[in-house]
Chain A
Amino acid sequence: MHESLDTQIESRSLIKQFFDSLHLPTGDPFAVAGLIIYAAFVAVALSADVIATHDPTEILYTPAYELAADRSPGQEGYILGTTSLGRDIFSQLVYGSRSALLIGLTAAVMVALIGTLVGLLAGYFGGLIDTILMRLADVAFGIPFLPFVIVLAAFLEPSIWNVVLAMALVLWRDTGRVIRAQVLTLRTRAYVEAARVSGSSDLKIVFTHIAPNVLPLSFLYGTIAIGWAILTEASISFLGFGDPETISWGYMLQDAYASQALSQRAYYWFVPPGLCIILVVVAGFFISRGYEEILFPKLKD
C-alpha cells in the first residue's frame, strides 16, 4: 500500500513538475479564459457519447416514418435542428469536437516535436547539420501549405492522418527557426560551458541542459499549431478531400454548403460549427499571448 502511495505521490509531483516547467500563463485573464475553453473542449470530446442526443450519422425519421429533415432548432426535440438528410446537428457538433481534438493534439505534438528537434540540432551543432536543416526549412517555407495538403490528401487515402502528416512535413519550419535562434544564445551560456568542460557528451548537454530551457517555446508553438491543424482540417474537409467516414466540423460545413444551406438560410446548420472552430482556435491564441508575455516580458506594456 505504502509503495503504491509513494509512486502515486511521485507521479503526481512529476506531473506537477511537468506543468511547472511549462510555465502555464495563469496570471493573464485571457490566457485563463483560453485554458478554460480548452478544458471544456476536452471534456466535451471525452464525454461525447453521453452528451450527444443521437447517433451523428443516423438518418432520423418521424414516428410516421417520414424523413425528419430540415428541422429548425428546438423543433421536435432536435436541439439545433437537423440536416437536409435528417441528421441531428447538435450530435454532429458534439462528435466533431472529438476529431478536432484528435487532429489538433497529434498535429501540434508532431509539429512541436520535429521543430524542437530540428532547432536543437541545428542550433547546437551548427556547421553542416545547421546548413542542411536550415536549407530544408527554406524549402518548407517555399511550399504553399494548403495546396500541398490538398495534393497529398488527394493522392493518399482520404483520412485525417494525411492532414496531420502534411502538417508535420511543412509546419515545423517556424518552430525550428525560432528554437534554433534560442539555442544559439543558450549554447554560449556559462552552465553549458561548465557541463562541456566537465565532460558531458553533446547529446546529454542538448537534451538535459538546453532542451528544458526551450520547452516553453515549443509549447507556445504547439498551442498555435493546434489551431492551425483544426483550421486546416476544416478547410480540407470543406474542399471535399477529407475523411468521409469521420464527422468533423469541416465535414459539417461542407455538407451544409453542398446541400444549399446558404440559399435556404439555414443559419442554424452552418453557424455553430464555425463558432466552435473559432472558439478553440482563439483559445489557443489567448494562451500563446499569455505565454509570450511570460517568455518575452519586454513586450508587455
Chain B
Amino acid sequence: MLGLKQIGGRLAQLIFVLWAVATILFLIFRLMPGNPLAAYIDPTFTEEQQLILMAKFGLDRPLWEQYFIYLWNLLQGELGDSFFYRQPVFDRVLELLPNTLILTFSSLIVAYAFGIIAGAWLAWRRGGLAERVAIPIVLTTRALPEFWLGMLLLAIFSFSLGWFPAGGTRSPGEEYSSLFALYSSTDFLAHLVLPAATLAIYSQGLPLLLMRSNMLDVMGEDFVTMARIKGLSSWTVVVRHAARNALLPVVTSFAIAVGYQIQGNVVVETVFSWPGLGRELVNAVSASDYPLAQGAFLMIAIVVVLMNLLADLLYSLLDPRISHA
C-alpha cells in the first residue's frame, strides 16, 4: 500500500516538475528575439492598458525580478490578457478545456473498450491466423500520422458521403442556452464523431497490445492452469480468471494515455477546427498572441504532469510489489 511519505515524495516531485516547466516557458518567451515586452503587451493596447500590464508583470524591472513576479502571478492564475480576444487568458483557457477533455475522454473510452476486448481475444487465439493478420494491422495504426487519418476520414465521411459535418462543435445558426444543452445535443455528437474516431483508431493499439501481452503472462500462471484442470470452458477461463488480472496494468495506462492524447490533440483539433486547447495553442503561436500561447501550453503541461502522477500512484496502489524508492 501507499505510505503517506511516498505520496508526499511524489507530490514534491510534481511541484518540482511544474516549476521547471514554468521556468523553461519563462525563458523561451522572454528570451525570444524582438521586444522583451512582447510577452504581455501588444503594441495596439492603449497606453493606459500598457501601463497597467507593465506594473502587473513588472516588465520595467530586471529579468530576475520579473521571474519571481511571473511565478507569483502563476500561482494566482494570472496569465495576462490575450492580444486577440482582449480577455484574461485564464478565462479563455478554462473555457476551452472542457472541449479538449470531452474529445480526449470520449475517444479514449472507445479505444480502451475496443482494445481490451480485442487484446483478450487475440491472446486467447494466440499463434493463430488472427494474430498474424491483426498484429501488423495494429502496429500500422500506431504508425499513422493522426492528422492524415483525420484528413482521410474527413474526405470520405464528410466531403464524399456527407454523413458528418466537416468541423467545429456546432452547425452554423444553432444556439444553445447552456453548455450542457450544447454538449448533450445530437448536433454536437455528430461533430464529435469524426475527430473522436480519428483519435480512437490511433489510440486503441496501446491497450490492445498491453492487454494481449498481460493476458499471455497471466495465462501461464498456476491459478489459470488450475481453472483449466477443473474443466472450465476455455472462454470462461479467459474472461473470469485471466482477463480480470490482466486488466489492472491496462487501466493504469489509461492515465498515461490521457497525457499523451492531450499533446497529440494539437493536430487533430486543427484538422477538424475543434475549439480546444491544442488548436488554440497553434492559432495563438501563429498570431503571436504570446500570453494565450503560454497559457494554453501551461494548461496542457499541467494535465500531462497530473496524469503521469496519477498513473504512478495507481500503479503502486494496484501492485504492492512496486515500491517507490
Chain A contacts to B: CB under 8 angstroms: 30, 135, 138-139, 141-148, 150-152, 154-155, 227, 231, 234-235, 238-241, 250, 253, 256-257, 262-263, 265, 267, 270-271, 273-274, 277-278, 281-282, 284-286, 289, 299, 301
Residue of B nearest to A148 (CB): B297
B159 touches A262 (CB 8 A): yes
Bound form: Cα–Cα A54–B158 in Å: 33
Interface flag for B281 (CB, 8 Å): yes
For window 274-325 of B, CB contacts with A under 8 Å fall at 278, 281-282, 285-286, 293, 296-297, 300-301, 304-305, 308
A-B contact pairs, 11 of them (CB 8 A): A139-B17, A142-B20, A146-B266, A146-B267, A150-B282, A154-B285, A235-B266, A253-B145, A257-B151, A277-B145, A286-B139
Across-interface contacts of B262 in A (CB, < 8 A): 144
List, in ascending order, chain B residues with CB within 8 A of A227's CB. 143
Query: Nearest CB to that of A142 among chain B residues?
Result: B17
Interface residue? B87 (CB, 8 A): no
Q: Could you tell me if B301 and A239 are in contact, using CB atoms closer than 8 angstroms?
A: no
Complex Cα–Cα for A233 and B258 (A): 22
For A139, list chain B residues within 8 Å (CB).
16-17, 20-21, 24
What does DSSP make chain B's interface, helix, strand, loop or mixed? Answer: helix
> Do the beta carbons of B152 and A271 come within 8 Å of each other?
yes
CB distance from B203 to the nearest CB of A (A): 15
Residue B28 is within 8 A (CB to CB) of chain A in the complex: yes
- Which size bracket describes the interface of B in this complex? 35 or more
Docked-complex contact B159 and A147, CB < 8 angstroms: no
A151 B155 Cβ-Cβ under 8 A: no
Partner of B267, one of A154, A235, A270, A278: A235
Q: Is B126 an interface residue (CB 8 A)?
A: yes
Cβ–Cβ contact B308 & A144, under 8 A: no
Q: Please determine whether B159 and A265 come into contact, CB atoms closer than 8 angstroms.
A: yes
The complex places the Cα of A301 from the Cα of B155 at a distance, in Å, of: 41
Interface members, chain B 144-181 (any A CB < 8 Å) = 144-149, 151-152, 154-155, 158-160, 166
- Evaluate whether A144 and B147 lie within 8 angstroms (CB atoms) in the complex, with A154-B285, A285-B139 already known: no
Q: CB of B133 within 8 A of chain A? A: no
A301: chain B residues at CB < 8 Å are 126, 216
Nearest-Cβ distance from residue A169 to partner chain B, whole angstroms: 10
Contact B143–A151 (Cβ < 8 Å): no
The answer to whether B145 touches A147 (Cβ under 8 A) is no
> Shortest distance in angstroms between B287's beta carbon and chain A's nearest beta carbon?
10
Residue of B nearest to A299 (CB): B213
Cross-chain contact B266 with A147 (CB below 8 angstroms): yes
CB-defined contacts of B17 to chain A, threshold 8 Å: 138-139, 141-142
Residues of A within 8 A of B300 (CB): 144, 147
Instruction: Contact check, A285 vs B147: say whether CB atoms are below 8 A apart.
Output: no
In the A-B complex, the 7 residue pairs with the closest CB atoms: A281-B143, A274-B148, A142-B17, A282-B143, A144-B263, A139-B20, A262-B155
B16 adjacent to A147 (CB under 8 Å): no
- Known contacts A146-B264, A151-B25; 6 additional CB pairs below 8 A are A139-B21, A146-B263, A150-B281, A253-B151, A265-B159, A271-B152
Among residues of A, the one whose C-beta sits closest to the C-beta of B265 is A146
Within 8 A of A (CB), among B22-39: 24-25, 28, 32-33
B24 CB → nearest A CB, Å: 7
Note all chain A residues with C-beta closer than 8 A to B16.
135, 138-139
A142 contacts which chain B residues (CB < 8 A)?
A: 17-18, 20-21, 301, 304-305, 308
Q: Whole-angstrom distance between the alpha carbons of A152 and B33 in the complex?
A: 12
Interfacial chain A residues near B282, Cβ < 8 Å: 150, 239-240
**Would A151 and B270 be within 8 Å (CB), given that A238-B147, A239-B282 are in contact?**
no
Query: B13 interface residue, CB < 8 Å from A?
Result: yes
For the complex formed, measure the closest distance between the CB of B116 and the CB atoms of chain A, giving whole angstroms: 20
CB distance from B8 to the nearest CB of A (A): 16
Residues of B within 8 A of A285 (CB): 139, 142-143
Instruction: Give B181-201 as 1s and 0s: 1 = Cβ < 8 Å from A's Cβ atoms.
Output: 000000000000000000000
Q: CA separation between A284 and B18, bound complex, in Å?
A: 33
Contacts of B145 in A (CB 8 A): 231, 234-235, 238, 250, 253, 274, 277-278
Residues of B within 8 A of A263 (CB): 155, 159, 166
Q: Which of A146, A274, A285 has the most CB of B within 10 A?
A: A146
Q: Is B271 an interface residue (CB 8 A)?
A: yes
In angstroms, how far is the closest chain B Cβ from the Cβ of A44?
A: 18
Q: Does B140 contact A (CB under 8 A)?
A: yes
**Do B147 and A151 have beta carbons less than 8 Å apart?**
no
Interface residues of B in 199-250 (CB under 8 A from A): 213, 216
CA distance A130 to B148 in the complex (A): 40
In the complex, the chain B residue whose C-beta lies closest to that of A232 is B145
- Whether B13 lies near A138 (C-beta < 8 A) is yes
Q: Please determine whether A144 and B136 come into contact, CB atoms closer than 8 angstroms.
A: no
**Complex Cα–Cα for A274 and B143 (A):** 10
Interface string of B113-144 (1 = CB under 8 A from A): 00000000000001000000000100110111
Note all chain B residues with C-beta closer than 8 A to A270: 148, 151-152, 155
Which residues from A are CB-within-8-Å of B281? 147, 150
**With A and B bound together, what is the CA distance between A291 and B222 in angstroms?**
30
Distance (whole angstroms) from the CB of A283 to the closest CB of chain B:
9
Report how far A138 CA is from B19 CA in the complex, Å: 12
Smallest distance from the beta carbon of B234 to chain A beta carbons, Å? 17
Of the candidates A138, A144, A145, the one having the most CB atoms from chain B within 10 angstroms of its own CB is: A144
* B residues in contact with A273, CB < 8 Å: 148
By a CB distance below 8 angstroms, the chain A residues around B296 are: 147
